[in-house]
Amino acid sequence: MASLSIRQATLILTVLAVAPATAQEKVLNLYSARHYQTDEALYSNFTKQTGIKINRIEGKEDELLERLRNEGSNSPADVFLTVDASRLEQADALGLFAPVKSALLEQRIPAHLRDPQAHWFAFSTRARVIVYNKQKLKAADVANYEDLAKPALKGKLCSRSGAHPYNVSLGAALIQHLGEARTEEWARGVVANFARDPKGGDTDQIKAVAAGECDVAVSNTYYLVRLMRSSKPEERAVMEKIAVVWPNQSSFGTHINVSGGGMLKNAPNKDAAVRFLEYLASDEAQTYFANGNNEWPVVPSAVVSNPELKSLGDFKSDTLNVGELARTTPQAQKVFDRAGYR
């Protein structure tokens, strides 16, 4: 037999990895943009409980969405998981999701944390908080997202790209609460306050604040907890130099970023897909999100035993429906582009 090129071998292995189920085998073909080691426990436990084998393909969001588009009606994928409402909306806008009828999901997942058409569901959340240098600012200086645009912070703000979904989703929330004109004014104020051009991820912003490169930034909470739980003393030391503000506690609450997914319309294993989504809403699976990846469960009854996550305390979160939020993200990106927030 002739030898196979690496490309040919990879293609064959990929096809085998998502091969259709035989009459004797129960499978779920999962495309996931979640790339967390701790999710392994989720998948293995689902298989133990149900006997359904998970064939998983992981990749970046854009790559997986392009793959699903190219596969079309021949796609073997049953479920797509990703991070951020804007990315879930992108998949939905492409017509990739099918509505899921599940009394269990409706009962366990709060209405504002699922798409109104039941095309996708949030299974974990993170809060987008304000992080500031304790030596340079006080909590009252940055109590609200709106404060980030005040002239008093000129040259003091660090940010990742305004095109990143985390920031675009925050912009979408502000449009919902403040209107487009005020949000564009806010975005222009944020750009005027940059200490440097946007770069890096949330962890880079936190470290920049601790190092004094800037005085304030925004970050998703699970990056903060990751530093708190780090085995590296220098990363834990970062957390000693910064403090966290839950923004807008006297108004609409702190913006929530979600991780979620849905069943794909061409799913060959629809029953398995629904069972998997329902499993992700179980108390057991929800605790994995909290204790394994420092995310909050969406199910109120789930127990969080992650001490660092719990140490962040309680806060008022924004209850804007994530589906409506997601559908505002294209508008938010246009606002950011006009404001020069790139």
Cα(50)–Cα(27) distance, integer angstroms: 10
- Residues 293 and 218 reside in one and the same domain: no
User: How many domains would you assign to the chain?
Assistant: 2
Task: For residue 121, list its beta bridge partners.
Answer: 114, 261
- Its domain, for residue 171, covers 126-255+326-339
pLDDT of residue 37: 77
Note whether residue 319 is domain-resident.
no
pLDDT of residue 16: 42
Note whether residue 311 is domain-resident.
no
Q: Average pLDDT per run of 10 along the chain, which is 342 residues long?
A: 35 44 75 87 95 96 96 98 94 97 98 96 98 98 98 98 97 98 98 98 98 98 97 96 98 97 98 98 94 94 94 96 94 98 96
Question: How far does CA 332 lie from the centroid of its chain?
Answer: 17
Note whether residue 12 is domain-resident.
no
CA-derived radius of gyration, the chain:
21
Cα(104)–Cα(207) distance, integer angstroms: 41
- Residues 150 and 230 reside in one and the same domain: yes
Q: What are phi and psi of 180, to 5 degrees?
A: -65, -45
**What is the 3-state secondary structure of 223-274?**
HHHHHHCCCCHHHHHHHHHEEEECCCCCCCCECEEEEEEEEECCCCCHHHHH
- Residues 219 and 332 reside in one and the same domain: yes
pLDDT of residue 18: 52
Note whether residue 86 is domain-resident.
yes
- Residues 43 and 92 reside in one and the same domain: yes
- Residues 35 and 85 reside in one and the same domain: yes
3-class SS at 66? helix
Find, among 126, 303, 122, 132, the residue nearest to 226 by Cα.
126
Say which DSSP state 72 is in. G
**Is 16 within 8 Å of 43 (Cβ atoms)?**
no
CATH of the domain at 330: 3.40.190.10
In the block, which residue shows the tokens 């998948």? 43
- Residues 156 and 32 reside in one and the same domain: no
- Residues 248 and 100 reside in one and the same domain: no
Note whether residue 9 is domain-resident.
no
- Residues 218 and 299 reside in one and the same domain: no
Find, among 320, 290, 321, 322, the residue nearest to 306 by Cα.
290
Note whether residue 282 is domain-resident.
yes
pLDDT of residue 265: 98
- Residues 36 and 183 reside in one and the same domain: no
Note whether residue 177 is domain-resident.
yes
Using CA atoms of 119, 174, 245, 129 in order, give the dihedral in degrees to the nearest 10: 40
Note whether residue 4 is domain-resident.
no
- Residues 200 and 275 reside in one and the same domain: no
- Residues 79 and 158 reside in one and the same domain: no
